[in-house]
Amino acid sequence: MSLLQNAHTPIGAWIKLPVVESVEIMALAGFDFVVVDLEHGALDLTDVSRLVAVAAAHGLTPLVRVPDHSTTTIQRVLDAGAQGVLVPHVDTPAQAEAVVRAMRFPPRGHRGAGGTGRAGQWGLLPRDEYIRHGDTAVLCVPQLESAEAIAAAPAILAVDGVDAVFVGSADLALSLGDPGRVPALVDEALAAGAAAGKPCGLATITPEQAAGAVRRGARFLLVGNDAGMLARTASGVAGAVRKEVASDG
């Protein structure tokens, strides 16, 4: 079953640190998927290959957020075994169509055959199965991060090969210059996803935010990143210990 066809709301975490332990911890913690972050993380394609492999071995769905619309980068992360790609700043149906073409094999697209890599089980997967999986099971997820993208959401969602969309609320707020407009635009994107019958995802941090996002119609959630979780926990522990030590002094 596809990640986005689960009965429950899938929850995932961004991976920004180039260490396999982050992915292993997310699996043990009970997450459904991880998104290896090439856009904002200090990672390279070698890191992607290792992190994707560990995620798959631990039963997590490994997705990758690429830094741009580059066909070469998209193909290489798919060859590395990514089960889906999040693509930032997709503002128009034409851009969504270009992303789909980069991800799908001919005649639907122009992805090259790399069946001797991880995606093809190092050449052990039959060619027909390798092609079928790449065309039907790998998730294409454009990110909507501007007012233009939100307005075009119905058309972007209608593009054959787009499986879901993800609203980048932080960049949306930056592009608007008015964070107060973000909730209404997010609701507009969620409504477009529901109308198209395709999932729309959001990023949250707290359990209360996550529950609110699901009530509003979010179908999958990213609920923090490895570096941020470590930073918050470390800060909380250090602060609590210092407070307790000071009170004993």
Q: Which of 8, 40, 69, 110 is catalytic?
A: 40
Strand, helix or coil for residue 177: coil
For the record, the structure tokens of 70 come out as: 């580059």
Distance, CA of 113 to chain centre: 24
Kindly provide the b/e burial profile for residues 221-245, where b requires at least 16 CB atoms within 10 angstroms of the residue's own CB: bbbbbbbebeeeeeeeeeeeeeeee
Beta bridge partners of 35: 14, 63
User: Residue 39: what are its φ and ψ, rounded to 5°?
Assistant: -80, -45
**DSSP assignments along 99-127, one per residue:** HHHHHS-TTT--PPP-TTSGGGGGGTS-H
Q: Is 40 assigned a catalytic role?
A: yes
Residues 6+ apart with CB under 8 A from 40: 16, 65
* Residues taking part in catalysis: 40
